[in-house]
Structure 1
């Protein structure tokens, strides 16, 4: 048998040693991100709080009250007594019509009343005389009955004359057209000398009350049912007392400084779009809100106690599309939790079920984990825009710094 030379034995031993070193380098003591293969994740601690619940609804400004001015008698416009686009008080004179024929009619009715009253006085005297004579049997009962009938007719004529005089007075008064409500009056649709007729179709002018002013809000019936269910279940802290407050966002994006409240809800749902209307009322001293404006309203529907606000980025979806989150368990593993959300507030989901006080909610790094995976938690902070800021400690001296939000974490 041929024996290997000493030089061959040394070469073989060197190769074995090199292979052993390569295996050791290929099997590091710790996996990426943390000791023992744990993945570093950023977390925030959850705490329950009272969360104000609101809903955003589109709406349109409408006048609190509107009056279209129309004449009650025929006539020629003699005077226009207001300034267009200005405020008018209730009872202020707006138009005057020529009143000669109505004044003459009033005078004639007054004269007719005086004549009827004189006839009544004569009939009363005749009746009294006949009554005395009848008691002494000087006149017959028939004469007394005729005197009584004449007196009753004269009294009735007086009442008719009074009614005619009242009608003439109303027509005369209607030649002066006054404002039925206070508000802002628009343009006059007639001019001096125009002929107008009683109860005509076209209005002479329109008055709108815009302080206070109404905003009609339209929402779906499905949201109405959901809101009613939340109120009845006590999830919104309401017991049916107190009107919800409303905040408006104008068309230019600015928030209207005055807050309003819900003043009316319709009792029926529109059949075609399936919507219902809420009416809110706002003070409008500066006349910022004008009828016809479109606005966006935020309605404060209540407050949910013991709810959690969590960043939207922390919510995932399972195979059935239900919302889930990952929390760090007591033994340092990623635990998947099913949650129940009830809308959102700014960039946070409102969670009503599935979380506990003090849970360490994973907000970063969950893309690399699954349920039951070992994790190395690092506390993080989430700003109002949902951006995570944290410091992930490197597992080895040569590990690159963790990148959060597109920049190396400090």
Structure 2
């Protein structure tokens, strides 16, 4: 009994010492691992581009609609019944081409009557001129009075005036007769016509016989806000952008494709529409194949000018503060992240046009912006843009799809094991 009482304190002390030693051994490695990992973690890799100044076109995209270059609503200038329609609806007609033939019997009769009046006037004038020549000789020998000779000369002059009036009536009758054939005043595409043979038409009637539209070239009427127009003029006055005399316009069609011919800005309206607050711009496009038709909706990309010494920065590299200030993250000479305020002047494709805040050679962070913070040590590598039609999120999602497809293979193993067991039992 005495020996057990003497050994109990000794065993308790040994157990306590052993537990303290075990706790100390297990605690030291856990505390040392995070410190070692922090020391061995490499700097975050980021993709950067090097800022290089260049002349960048300032492009604005505005909506617009096409309208014909020339429009002619053909109306008759003579009264009568339509005898023939001399063109096919919707066909291309040339200037001066006959379109309709109106009954001209009345106008031909008027022309014949006017020609007869001319013959009468000529005969009367001829008679008076012969008589005047005879009186001229007689008045020299006082065979007739001077008054009679003067009266005869007056009658000759009156006869000449009557002849001139008769000849003018002939020309007028010829013009009216010409109106019986309705001709196209311009070259262009004809529209649908509701007048056929037998229709009665009147001069200058309200409804046109047919409408002719010239489609090559063709206009595109574009609406630009007055605020945008003021900003552009201020930039031009300050010299921020350079503008050539012929402003180029590119056209995006309703299906998203681009029209393969560039147009020129023809003019800008001199007044602002008070209802919409916009100014109408008109561009002219060549339209040889008549691909553009009047009334089509289109987006016009107007090259307002060229910005010298600007930078193109991918949109993924630019963020904005709550106040709207654009910022970009850069890698400085020490390899640390630096935040820089920049000024933008619109976009060109997937890039921002940066006019202030950058200098030549700046390393702009494009890839990895979400993983870093200011003053963080990073490793810069050249930025590789994703392939066309693929976004970074799609590129990351592709490996996940492959990984998800792999677990389907082990599903065959239970069936294989079951088959082996059946074969063994059968044997």
Unaligned runs of 5+ in 1: 390-403
> Structure 1 length normalisation: TM-score?
0.85
> Structure 2 length normalisation: TM-score?
0.81
Matches within 5 A, 1:42-191: 42-191=47-196
* Cα-to-partner distance string for 1:51-90 (whole Å, 9 max, x where unaligned): 2332222221211111111111111111111111111111
Q: What's the counterpart of residue 361 of structure 1? A: 364
Distance 1:388 1:78, change over 3 A: closer
Matches within 5 A, 1:251-262: 251-262=254-265
Unaligned runs of 5+ in 2: 1-12, 400-427
Kindly state the Cα deviation for residue 47 of structure 1 after the two structures are TM-superposed.
Answer: 1.9
Distance 1:103 1:43, change over 3 A: same
Q: What's the counterpart of residue 297 of structure 1? A: 300
Q: Does 1:280 align with 2:288?
A: no
- Following the alignment from structure 1 to structure 2, what is the Cα–Cα distance between the partners of residues 179 and 113? 32
Matches within 5 A, 1:345-384: 345-383=348-386
C-alpha RMSD of matched pairs (Å): 3.0
Question: Which of 1 and 2 has greater Rg?
Answer: 2
Contact 1:32 1:39 in 2 (8 A): no
Matches within 5 A, 1:1-16: none
* Cα-to-partner distance string for 1:160-191 (whole Å, 9 max, x where unaligned): 11111111111111111111111121222211
* Cα-to-partner distance string for 1:275-305 (whole Å, 9 max, x where unaligned): 1222222222222211121122222333333
Q: Secondary structure at the match of 2:218?
A: strand
Contact 1:62 1:213 in 2 (8 A): yes
* One of 322, 325, 334 as aligned partner of 1:322: 325
Contact 1:313 1:386 in 2 (8 A): no
Q: Does 1:202 align with 2:207?
A: yes
Kindly state the Cα deviation for residue 347 of structure 1 after the two structures are TM-superposed.
Answer: 1.7
Question: Which deviates the most, 264-273 or 204-213?
Answer: 264-273
Q: Secondary structure at the match of 1:155?
A: helix
Q: What's the counterpart of residue 339 of structure 1? A: 342
Kindly state the Cα deviation for residue 219 of structure 1 after the two structures are TM-superposed.
Answer: 1.9
* One of 22, 25, 28 as aligned partner of 2:36: 28
* Alignment length (residue pairs): 390
Q: Secondary structure at the match of 1:214?
A: strand
- Following the alignment from structure 2 to structure 1, what is the Cα–Cα distance between the partners of residues 391 and 221? 37
Distance 1:13 1:99, change over 3 A: closer
